[in-house]
Amino acid sequence: MSNTIDNLLHEARRFAPSEQFAANAVATADLYERASADRLGFWADQARELLHWHTPFTSTLDWSNPPFATWFDDGALNVAYNCLDRHVLAGNGDRVAIHWEGEPGDTRTITYAELTAEVKKAANLLTALGVRAGDRVAIYLPMIPEAVIAMLAVARLGAVHSVVFGGFSAESLRSRIDDAEAKLVITADGGWRKGRVFPLKDAVDAALQGGDTTVEHVLVVKRGENEVAWTEGRDLWWHDEIALVDADHVAAAFPAENPLFILYTSGTTGKPKGILHTSGGYLTQAAFTHKNVFDLRPESDVYWCSADVGWITGHTYVVYGPLANGATQVLYEGTPETPHPGRWWELIEKYKVSIFYTAPTAIRSFMKLGRQHPQKFDLSSLRVLGSVGEPINPEAWMWYREVIGGGETPIVDTWWQTETGAIMVSALPGVTTLKPGSAQVPLPGISIDILDEAGVPVGKDQGGLLVVTEPWPSMLRGIWGDPERFKETYWSKFGDKYFAGDGARYDKDGEIWLLGRVDDVMNVSGHRLSTAEIESALVAHPLTAEAAVVGAADETTGQAVVAFVIIKQNQLEYAESIDVAAELRKHVSEQIGAIARPREIFIVNELPKTRSGKIMRRLLRDVAEGREVGDTTTLADTAVMSSIQSKLS
């Protein structure tokens, strides 16, 4: 690791904004000045400029009861109204909100007026199904317009959505439904992925099997046309029901701190955390960052963020940021390589995408496929590129700029988390001289520092732990139903400074380089996975006695899941007769989802443990990455590692 860091910090390439870009940029250097002169006043100005408030706020931040913050507390607004109605009222109803493209090539073009009309109907439908402010609605949909419509309809009613990524299993869906006590599930029969329909309704049925659930209804969008089972009285077709409701719906105002959504993310224990976001502060920072980091001109830009709405990036930069800003965007259902490896580039050419936001793992897999694919398409409409999800290595950054960005576009490397709600650290494209591989500087109004273990700020050219030192508008407001875990996870290490769980380093100029997680959270293809969660899935299998999971470096996905498993004594004979690794990989898919499936599973006799019984993952990571095994002196039994290695070779 330290070798890589040294290499990174020697990265000397620098790219200043072109004069023309800088002269026309949406965000200028005076934002930093305004924010540092009066941080809270700056955010209050942003909230007033970027959003419509039904009731204006007078108080900006209340931090009298840390770590529980409120922002714009006495104001009231409607999040969906801000994303829809007000654009129509301002005369922009004919602007395209969504250029949707299905994987098989079918398309829908939806203007702001049409999207507003759809959301009004959906809000009436949800009301008819008993959804009221504060109720939770689970959304388990493919990347179709109804995913956006459903989220906004829930928001319009002041209810709370919990979007569950369609790649998660029935088990994962169930635990999220139960934790949030959702009363309604919105799903589809199926969606298109890699040239095939993957069923979603089946997983909902499996999740709800046996009853004993808070769910009263399942609303099903027809998309895949695949056969589905039907539970009379519980299941309803979206298209049938939506035809019956009124078209008119007046958006009521809700307090700024009204919960907007819960989004589950992996933590260091087996149980995912329900990260809670509220309305006014979240939408302010979503809109501010989307406008300034991406240099957005809503009248002329075509924006595309490739994230699924099941992740925070999809929440903030597919739904809330772009729609609050009245942007035109592309929404694509499928995978990048279907039906051909140039599909994304084809879409950029077709819709003349000017701002493109994706993850380093995608860029690295395109690099592997070769530049001949993007080169078949005209990508000259692109003018800003973004990256999110994990550190982007300088080689991938350079390829992104040269091959996709025509050697000219600025690249913003944006650091943030599910918990931060919106971008926190990033260059501003018309202001910052770019450094490949570094997320660089805190945004205006955001206070970041790097501390050592004792909580002392480190200096230039030094590394430590990334913290946010002042509350920010889109910060998480808690973990659903678990205030103690909220305090313990983020606020117990450094008092009232938010501990992000990432290692970071200042370079000689005092700019920030992210170095990856410092806890037992892995980052696979930009998705957070918990070692503990996968371990508990593995030991839930009847063959498994014990399991240890590590994130091993992977050229394409950043990290990959590698598992070490001990088989139960009485199962050894049976295990000999089957493909154990395949069986366990399938099991993890069923328990959590395909994204958590280990790349490799090693069957071993023992695991390396300290005298106090803690698994030494560091040594397993050495094995998984094919390195010489490091210091083993703290092992209870120093022979374990040679026993493991002899099993593998």
Whether 18 contacts 408, CB under 8 Å: yes
Q: Is 417 annotated as a binding residue?
A: yes
Does 415 bind ligand WTA (CB under 6 A)? Our answer is yes
Q: Is 39 annotated as a binding residue?
A: no
Q: Kindly report the three-state secondary structure assignment for every residue of 223-287.
A: CCCCCCCCCCCCEEEHHHHHCCCCCCCCCCCEECCCEEEEEEECCCCCCCEEEEEECHHHHHHHH
Mark the segment that binds ligand WTA (CB under 6 A) among 232-240, 307-315, 552-560, 572-580. 307-315
Q: Is 390 annotated as a binding residue?
A: yes
End-to-end CA, the chain: 24
Q: What is the DSSP letter of 596?
A: G
Does 60 bind ligand WTA (CB under 6 A)? Our answer is no
Q: Which of 60, 417, 432, 557 binds ligand WTA (CB under 6 A)?
A: 417
Round to whole Å and give the CA distance between 110 and 322.
Answer: 14
Does 439 bind ligand WTA (CB under 6 A)? Our answer is yes
| Shortest distance in whole angstroms from residue 494 CB to ligand WTA | 16
| Shortest distance in whole angstroms from residue 528 CB to ligand WTA | 5
Those residues with Cβ within 8 angstroms of residue 533's Cβ, 6 or more apart along the chain or in another chain? 266, 269, 270, 271, 272, 592, 596
Q: Is 193 annotated as a binding residue?
A: yes
Whether 27 contacts 50, CB under 8 Å: no
Does 533 bind ligand WTA (CB under 6 A)? Our answer is no
DSSP-assigned beta bridge partners for residue 502:
517
Does 162 bind ligand WTA (CB under 6 A)? Our answer is no
> Secondary structure of the chain: what % helix, strand, coil (to 5)?
35, 25, 40
| Shortest distance in whole angstroms from residue 457 CB to ligand WTA | 20
| Shortest distance in whole angstroms from residue 600 CB to ligand WTA | 22
Does 391 bind ligand WTA (CB under 6 A)? Our answer is yes
| Shortest distance in whole angstroms from residue 275 CB to ligand WTA | 8
Q: Which of residues 364-383 bind ligand WTA (CB under 6 A)?
A: none
Instruction: Find, among 303, 283, 250, 269, the residue nearest to 75 by Cα.
Output: 283
* Tokens at 17, concatenated: 């904004």
| Shortest distance in whole angstroms from residue 151 CB to ligand WTA | 17
Q: Which strands form 384-388's sheet, in the order they lie side by side? A: 107-111, 96-101, 328-332, 302-305, 355-358, 384-388, 411-414
Q: Is 196 annotated as a binding residue?
A: yes
* Tokens at 236, concatenated: 């309803």
Q: Which lies closer to ligand WTA via its Cβ, residue 364 or residue 517?
A: 517
Does 308 bind ligand WTA (CB under 6 A)? Our answer is no
* Tokens at 413, concatenated: 């490397």
Does 528 bind ligand WTA (CB under 6 A)? Our answer is yes
Does 506 bind ligand WTA (CB under 6 A)? Our answer is no
Does 265 bind ligand WTA (CB under 6 A)? Our answer is yes
Does 416 bind ligand WTA (CB under 6 A)? Our answer is yes
| Shortest distance in whole angstroms from residue 504 CB to ligand WTA | 9
Binding site for ligand WTA (CB under 6 A): 265, 311-313, 388-391, 413-418, 439, 500-502, 514, 517, 523, 528
Binding-site positions for Mg(2+) read: 539, 541
